[in-house]
Amino acid sequence: MRRSTTLLFTSGLVAGTIGSTTIDAQPRPTVTPADYAQWEMPGAPRLSPRGDWTAIPMTRMNDSSEVRLIGGPRDTTIIIPFAMPATFSPAGGWVGMLVGISTAERERLTREKKPVRNSVQLRHLGTGQVITETDVNAFAFSANGRFVTLTRYPQEGKPVSDVLVYDLTRGTRLTFPSVRDQAWADGTGAGATGALLALAIDGDGPSGYSVQLYDAAANTLRVLENGAVPYRALAWRRRAADLAVLRGVVDKAWRDTAHVLVTWRDVTGNATSRVLDPATMNGFPARMRIAEHRRPTWSRDGQVMFFGLRPRLAAADAIKKSADKVSDVEIWHTNDVRMFPQQKAQEAQDLRSTLLTAWHQGDDRIVQIGTDLEEQAAALENGRWATEIDRKPYPWEWKFGRNVQDVWAVNLETGARTKVLQRVRHYYGGDPTGTKLAWSDGRDYWVVDLASGTRTNLTGALTRGGKADFVDHDDDHPTDIPHIFPIVAWSKTGDALLVNDTHDVWRLAVNGGGNTRLTNGARDQVVHRLVNFAPFGASVVERAVDLEAPLYFTLTGRLSKQSGYARRAGDGTVQRLMLVDAGHSTLVKADSADIFAFTRQRYDTSPNVFVGDDPATAKAVTATNPQQAKYAWGKAELMNFRSTIGVPLQALLYYPANYDPAKKYPLIVYTYERLSQGLHGYIAPNDRNYYNATVFSQQGYFVLMPDIVFRPREPGIGTKYAVEPAVRAVIARGLVDPARVGHVGHSQGGYEAAYLATHSNLFQTTIVGSGITDMISFAGQLHWSQGTAEFDHWETGQFRMQVAPWEDTKAMIDNSPLARVHQMQAKSMLIEIGSDDGTVDPRQGSLFYNYARRAGKQVVMLTYPGEGHGLTKRENQRDYQTRILEWFGHYLKGEPAPRWITEGQTALERRAILDANK
């Protein structure tokens, strides 16, 4: 369980090395808060199907946003303010996007308790025609791209909306009122038109509810079924004109809603239907209902339907209302695998969980797959097998972060259940044929054939012979089963598994035959990772890789931090397309053309989007932040050093803007865990990103971010081993004044800041953001937002303490900031907490503050009411950054201290400020 820190890198791209940059002899003006609004940052690009247009979301530091459309025969740029990521029609002729409103307008409507609603804009990329509709919540193109549905916001208090269907060719519009559910067929077999829309409509009267089929191309509407109860959960079969829906059942004997499952084969023809009715089906599980929370799905051949069951709630079993007021007591029991707060946090999920079940339509027979509502069940490809996870045999492990499980296979023809895997942690699921499962034991990768039960070790010969090592040795969290690189994908035919080692991608033959290393990154310590162009959430079949086709890889130098791309041809030849001192995003590819897009950046070069038919020759289509040239800008340097115990490590060193070698500067150290991979992240100046290295650089600071690696039971000691030699290395170069070194960190970094403040003499001052300060109390606390115990975080997570506190009390004391609060060596500390922090209990901050106050130490605590682990309100983000700069300005640069630092601020004074600004 990792606690994310507030990002220093607003772009989110972290691959790539920076060489030294030329720093002008003539000083330029530095960037001030008044200048921040000029900066913009591009989001992930999207390509039209033919790659002739690129849609780029763009955000600015003044809280505005837009979508930028770039392309066409004239290389046109179109800007749509406040738009959200664009969606291209399947044929590529149109693009659509939801369009919001400004932050100021949103805040005004919220204050006035008025609804905040989006509109939609549809734009023809050839003619420039624009269609706009207000009050639209969602939109979807038909498979042929000629039609689009626009869904208005739900009617007040009802689960239905008006749906508009536009014919984009003719410019006509049709409205369907009171639509509960809708779904376009995918068009790759569901009729020649590619424009079949299924609608579940709520009407009036005894038979007003209906399932209707609208053929948009023919402009015909057909009622497939109607009745007196609602329909929901429409589901098309892929590449077919087969449709399924759930029809409600009214029965006052039960408190819940049951359903029958209705399917139609070939809705464009005779539309023959079948019905699964639990009330009339022999062998249907007693006291079970077909639940609405799982949308039905089809097997690929259409012979099996999958749906979800839940136990029925009888009206007679309803809890009787007590005549007395009932206590709201919570009963926490030691046998609870999921603690009571976790159950509360997951209540909505629990109420929607179902037991996966298969319906064989041919012989009207069902096979129940799921047996436990708290476990996960999955249907494998081709409808022959399914699996269910079983965690029940391992309650202790799941309580305390050693997550292991058994896996049961269910034969969907016979219903037979077989335990095929036992006590596995690294489980990866089924292959594209639906006949095999893959997993790892922490050293080797295995597959099991479900029909025969045969297990095959795919890598035993490699690992035993020392030819390959698939353990992730960079992951230093304590574990009884080694961390291993996850499976990348299956081959398209299911005959091979693709996996990573430290540098390369391997093809593993599932029959145990030959294994092939597809890349050769180990030679130059360049990490190769396969680019999978399948969309997010794609099935195992869609993610399967055609090994005969060209494959693309991202490249990252493990030590150099260079990045780029490589291509492997069908004959096995790997060509390095680029590997340069810059950071690159993953590749995006057009659906029906070999056109690629990616983002490139460096710390000193604003991120821009590149597009082309080859990544090596792609051209920039954006030129963001040209104003940067007017201002002073620092540089980022990759620094090598050794930890106190001799481990080779790296650090990032950011130079101050207008750096003068004749001066010695103050230094701000920022820590988390490993940060050197962010070398090429462009950091736009921003007053909402309060730990902002560019802002610090503009204020005249060096900024150091050293990597930290850990050994078990040494989270604080390991921090000191890594950070102190990095700081000393910078001091030894004569760059900084050793008397003006400060430290800041958040979350786990906040713990590191608190530890070094009490255990190191290198820091004049430190800032602890939402950090852990007391090892003794923290081990037994909760991660309140998830409702989970901290012991997994304590023993096998970020704290890496490996054992329970009482098994090594010395290690607990040695790594606790609070244990040395009375000997705090930093001369001052600023603590920040959110009063509603559900990740790190805010009492960790108040506890240290109270101890430090008793010990006579100079500590100030900022408490932001209603805020969580990271500040979300703009005014609080800006306030915190301002106070950070004032704090470091006073303690590291000798600037006059604001009154809040020297004297604080009374509650009445704060109230007066708030009242005056209502």
For the chain, counts of helices (H) and of strands (E): 16, 56
Cβ(269)–Cβ(287) under 8 Å?
no
Cα(490)–Cα(431) distance, integer angstroms: 6
pLDDT of residue 8: 43
Tell me if 245 sits within 8 A of 262, measured CB to CB: yes
For residue 600, which of 575, 636, 563 has the smallest C-alpha distance? 563
For 547, the 3-state DSSP assignment is coil
- Report which of 840, 838, 850 is spatially closest to residue 778, judged by C-alpha positions: 840
What string of DSSP letters covers 884-906? HHHHHHHHHH-PPPPHHHHT---
Residue 127, φ and ψ in degrees, nearest 5? -90, -20
> 3-state class of 464 per DSSP?
helix
> Does residue 691 contact residue 6 with C-beta atoms inside 8 Å?
yes
Q: How many C-beta atoms lie closer than 10 Å to residue 112's C-beta? A: 7
β-strand partners of 281: none
Q: What distance in Å separates the CA atoms of residue 840 and residue 854, rounded to the nearest whole number?
A: 23
In angstroms, the CA 279 to CA 57 distance is 52
Residue ranges of the chain whose pLDDT lies below 70: 1-25, 188-193
Q: Show contacts of 792-796: CB within 8 Å, 24+ apart.
A: 792/1, 792/400, 792/401, 793/1, 793/3, 793/401, 795/400, 795/401, 795/478, 796/400, 796/401, 796/402, 796/477, 796/478, 796/479
pLDDT tens across 233-255, in order? 999 999 999 999 999 998 999 99
Separation of alpha carbons 885 and 485, rounded Å = 41
User: In this predicted structure, what is the pLDDT of residue 306?
Assistant: 98
Amino acid identity, residue 657?
A
Strand duo 526-530 + 515-517: pairing: unpaired
Measured between alpha carbons, how far is 89 from 48 in angstroms, rounded to an integer? 8
Tell me whether strands 765-769 and 736-746 are parallel, antiparallel or unpaired. parallel
Task: Report the C-alpha gap between 448 and 388 in whole angstroms.
Answer: 15
3-state secondary structure of 845: helix
Beta bridge partners of 741: 667
Read off the amino acid at residue 585.
Answer: S
Q: Which residues of 243-271 are buried (b: 16+ CB within 10 A; e: fewer)?
A: bbbbbbbeeeebeebbbbbbbbbebbeeb
Give the torsion through C-alpha atoms of 771, 60, 99, 131, to 10 deg: -160
The sheet with strand 196-201 has its strands ordered as: 136-141, 147-152, 161-167, 172-184, 196-201, 209-215, 220-227
- Rounded-to-integer distance, Cα 496 and Cα 431, Å: 9
Distance of alpha carbon 507 from alpha carbon 518, whole angstroms? 7
> Which DSSP string do the residues of 603-652 spell out, in sequence order?
TTEEEEEEEESSGGG-EE-----GGGGGS----EEEEEEE-TTS-EEEEE
Neighbours of 375 (CB within 10 A): 17
pLDDT for 193: 64
Q: Got the DSSP string for 554-594? A: EEEETTT--EEEEEE-TTS-EEEEEEESSEE---EE-SSSS
CA dist., res. 135 & res. 99, Å (int): 10
